[in-house]
Structure 1
Amino acid sequence: MVMATNASTAAPTSLASVTLEVADLESARRFYSAFGVDTCIQLRTTDAHSTGFRGFTLALTVSGPATVDSFVGAAVSAGATVLKPAAKSLWGYGGVIQAPDGTIWKIATSAKKDTGPATRHIDEVVLLIGVENVKTTKDFYTGQGLTVARSFGSKYAEFTPDPTSPVKLALYKRRALAKDLGIPNDGTGSHHVILGTTNHTFTDPDGFTWETTTHPAPTPS
């Protein structure tokens, strides 16, 4: 249920943090530290059940193919499963992995050739949630106080990021997102992700929960 709040008088809403819900907290901490994304997210335990596609992915943008390979290799060495091997595409170079806790990560670059050695630097992190109707969910979020940074009709919308958060929020059609990740669209149960906000608690039209937080995740160095 959406909490009754007057969006015109409330403070602006933005994505302050992303918390992944996992079954084994210590195992997840070890994995994300080895993967190299532990400063981008927070973790907490859950016994909630889910099957299939959870309706979102976390996407890393990096500088070049060698850095993509470095992150994919680190994830696989730590126990991740490759859903789509890193490869060249029309848009650049990238791959998709699934963490042991079930979270799907896409690592990509717009560069098709390396201009230097691999690094462990992340240029951008995007929480991309799959929605049934991009316009409906976009309008819901603008009603909550988020500002649209870019929008491509009924296909994609991106919101202005919170300067204190390492993660940007974007919307994509659920079916199209699943296809891009190389997985079936069907899924039931918990999303296993909580979006943090310094504003009020609410749930969006696609069942993603926002909770009030006073401790944004640290910005990656």
Structure 2
Amino acid sequence: MASIASITLDVADTEAAHRFYTAFCGDSHVRLRASQEPTTGFRGFTLALTVAQPSDVDGLIAAAVDAGATTLKPAVKSLWGYGGVVQAPDGSIWKVATSAKKDTGPATQRIDDFVLLLGVADVAASKRFYVDRGLAVARSFGRAYVEFAAGTGDVKLALYRRKALAKDLGVSPEGTGSHRIAIGGDAGAFTDPDGFAWEAVAAPRPGLV
């Protein structure tokens, strides 16, 4: 079963980005690479951190904002739990959430799940594309949402309709240019139907570099 080994964000200033991610979420499976590729608007993805309880959400979002992030959606209770959305100084969007609606202990800010959520034009077509490349479906809700099993990696991949994802994040779905992200995994090197690039990476657990 194919899995994701790393996420690489293309950023204009690697030193500044390193400081931000160290302050925000520490060992977050994110690698950083210098890039000046043009990009505007929504880049078509979000990185989602799932934690145990609301106080962990609040702690991570506060750390992100203190380090220079912009709040796109303040953390609030919802039908599904509690969560908020921030945009990093490099432009990438992060969602921090929990299915719990109240705290059951002291905040730890431990990250339970790390999910790369891609906004795609056709969920069913992208699902078939990834299944053909060895990813195993963990959950699927028709043409609306698909989540793949993490396999031997620690990063999960999920697919959502682009417009629906943008709405959930509180941004316009419009965007042009580079996605500014590369996905490293053992499925090989390829580009998916929505232009997201994969690189062949064998390492099972990278850290922040």
| Shorter-chain TM-score above 0.5 | yes
Task: Give the unaligned 5+ runs of structure 2.
Answer: none
Match for residue 195 of structure 1? 183
CA distance in 1, matches of 2:129, 2:56: 36
The one-letter code matched in structure 1 to 2:87 is Q
Match for residue 7 of structure 1? none
CA distance in 2, matches of 1:70, 1:166: 22
Match for residue 117 of structure 1? 106
Give the counterpart of 2:161 among 168, 173, 182.
173
The 1:48–1:196 alpha-carbon spacing in structure 2 relative to 1, beyond 3 Å, is: same
Match for residue 210 of structure 1? 198
**Paired residue total:** 208
Give the counterpart of 2:75 among 54, 64, 86.
86
Bigger Rg, which one: 1
**How high is the TM-score relative to the length of structure 1?**
0.90
Q: Is the 8 A contact 1:18 1:217 kept in 2?
A: no
Q: CA deviation at 1:219?
A: 7.0
CA distance in 1, matches of 2:160, 2:26: 23
The 1:124–1:29 alpha-carbon spacing in structure 2 relative to 1, beyond 3 Å, is: same
Q: Is the 8 A contact 1:29 1:38 kept in 2?
A: no
Is 144-153 or 176-185 further displaced after alignment? 144-153
Q: Is the 8 A contact 2:134 2:187 kept in 1?
A: no
CA distance in 2, matches of 1:155, 1:184: 19
Indicate the SS of the match to 1:106. strand
Q: Is the 8 A contact 2:9 2:33 kept in 1?
A: yes
Q: CA deviation at 1:87?
A: 0.7
Aligned residues with identical type, % of pairs: 61
CA distance in 2, matches of 1:37, 1:108: 17
C-alpha offsets along residues 70-126 of structure 1, whole Å, 9 cap, x if unaligned? 000000000000000011111111000000000100000111110011112001010
**How high is the TM-score relative to the length of structure 2?**
0.95
C-alpha offsets along residues 1-33 of structure 1, whole Å, 9 cap, x if unaligned? xxxxxxxxxxx5322211111110000000000
The one-letter code matched in structure 2 to 1:191 is H
Question: What is the RMSD of the two structures over their aligned residues, measured on CA atoms?
Answer: 1.4
CA distance in 1, matches of 2:51, 2:108: 9
1:38-187 alignment, distance < 5 Å:
38-163=27-152, 165-187=153-175
Match for residue 30 of structure 1? 19
